[in-house]
Amino acid sequence: MDQSNQALKAAHRRDDAVDYLETHTECVGVDLNALRRKIDRRVLPCMFCCYVLQFLDKVMLNYAAIMGLKKDLKLTGDEFSNTATWFFIAYLIAEVPNVYCLQKFPAAKWLGGNVFFWGIAAAASAGAHDYQTLLVARVFLGAFEATVGPSLMLLSSQYYTRSEQAPRFTFWYMGMGIAQILGGIISFAFQHVHNAALDGWRIMFLMLGLITSVVGALTFFFIPDTPLKASWLTDDEKTALLQHVSHNQTGLWSSTLNLEQIWEAVMDMQLWLLVITTILISVSSGVVTTYSATLIAGFGFSGAISALLNTPSGIVSIFFTLLVGFGIRRTSNRWAWNVLCTIPGIVGAAMMSFIPKSNKAGVLIGVYLVNAIVATLPIMYQWTMANCAGHTKRAFASALIAGSFSVGNIIGPQTFQARDAPGYRPAKIIVLATQAAAAAVTVVLYLYYRWANRYRDQKQGPVNEALIDEIKWAGLTDKENTCFRYAY
């Protein structure tokens, strides 16, 4: 696209930030480091709590399975696996309206409302009395949770530059590891509830659901729609922030739905490589979410001890999530960090698959190592936000990646078939294969970005810095913007 066409598109796709910057051009005495810390204190805690609770509410099914849920609801055959699968089917289907809603409604409001309602769905799981009622509760939970990834991705991209996003994505995504640890402890505690009117797993679902709804209400009212509506930022701070994040060339927010950008996303090779990688790594996530406690209980441990033995999985998740978050901030090379995290996953899956069951310590270490793979998902989230520009394209891409996560999680539990119990060796081998494939596709994605940047340099010459200033709030996509270069 030549410069005249870019200017024409820019005239029709004004970002909300443009109107503000036309009347606010000065930002005297603003310390960007202090501003960044101020934003971190205000925004990140809510984002972190939302992610902790979305994983905790989801993984509680994992722990409820060893607390008597299967017996109490008389689940047979693959019914337990099906409840996990239908959660993610609902999650996947809900990504379709998410594209529209995240374009029409501020991400913070849409997130807060959905968190509130998924809390109600989680609490409703306490009232399940058979397979069908549990399935209905899980379907509603999946539909409301579907927005958490896309919403947090869009919120993060509004406040931070591409290099700053990596540690922030890491911070809120670290909530998954925290949830794994808390889940084991909470499950252990509720397994010691006796002589109560409700079973321990029912009280657990009810309590967590109510806490989630409270956090959803707080998110709705306390996270601003955009930085422009943050009452705790001064006019100078808003101006400085907008000028700072303008280097992303991805825009802030616009309510205009652009169907051309959706079509561009559908035809974009990079997005499908991101999708394939996300699906492959998410197969293991489905295993971790639904069956890790069951695998540990297969060694003959009681339900309470199995819950506690699963908590080190969270420590592994946190360690690798922090490692890649700050590693990307310092060195970039997202592709290399992604491949690095698949290596422990491959080793762990091999240990689970081929070490004799009598070697409990060796197999347990394998279960823990597989959790390193969860650190790749924030890389995929951040990579998507860094390399997909254009208001509608970003919303579509975020929903597509979140949907890809659900596809992997649909596949993961279905690899655990009742006929393979208690070892589930075929499922463990599938984890090994998908991690190796994810590493290979990541390298292909890296080569694609290198080629795309080199092709643009050869065809259009060096990046025109003057033109960047003219079009950085134009709402152009990464394909339309000749000054855009992909991060890898």
SS (H, E, C) 230-273: CCCCCHHHHHHHHHHHHHHCCCCCCCCCCHHHHHHHHCCHHHHH
Q: What is the Cα–Cα distance from 322 to 330, expressed in whole angstroms? A: 12
Q: Dihedrals φ, ψ of 233, to 5°?
A: -110, 135
How far, rounded to the nearest angstrom, does the alpha carbon of residue 117 sit from its chain's CA centroid?
19
**Whole-number Cα distances in Å, 228 to 67, 170, 375, 474:** 47, 25, 32, 17
Question: Could you tell me if 103 and 391 are in contact, meaning their C-beta atoms sit under 8 angstroms apart?
Answer: yes
Q: What is the Cα–Cα distance from 155 to 343, expressed in whole angstroms? A: 31
The pTM is what? 0.75
Ordered by start, the domain boundaries in the chain are: 19-471
Prior bond of 422 cis (ω within 30°): yes
Closest CA to 37 of 45, 29, 27: 45
Q: What is the Cα–Cα distance from 269 to 53, expressed in whole angstroms? A: 34
Return the amino acid letter for 62.
N
**Letter string b/e over residues 205-216, b meaning 16 or more CB atoms within 10 A of that residue's CB:** bbebbebbbebb
Q: What is the Cα–Cα distance from 241 to 35, expressed in whole angstroms? A: 8
pLDDT by residue for the chain (488 residues), tens digit each?
A: 455 555 445 444 555 666 666 666 666 677 888 988 999 998 889 889 998 998 888 778 877 887 888 888 888 877 887 887 888 889 889 888 887 888 788 888 999 999 999 899 999 988 888 999 999 999 999 999 988 888 888 888 788 887 787 788 888 888 888 887 888 788 888 888 776 677 888 988 999 999 999 999 999 998 888 888 888 888 888 888 877 777 665 555 566 677 888 899 899 999 999 999 999 988 877 666 666 766 777 777 776 777 778 788 888 888 998 888 888 878 888 899 999 989 998 998 888 778 877 787 888 888 888 888 888 888 888 888 888 888 788 888 888 888 898 888 888 777 767 677 666 777 778 888 898 999 999 999 999 999 999 988 888 776 665 555 555 555 678 888 777 888 88
CATH number of 19-471: 1.20.1250.20
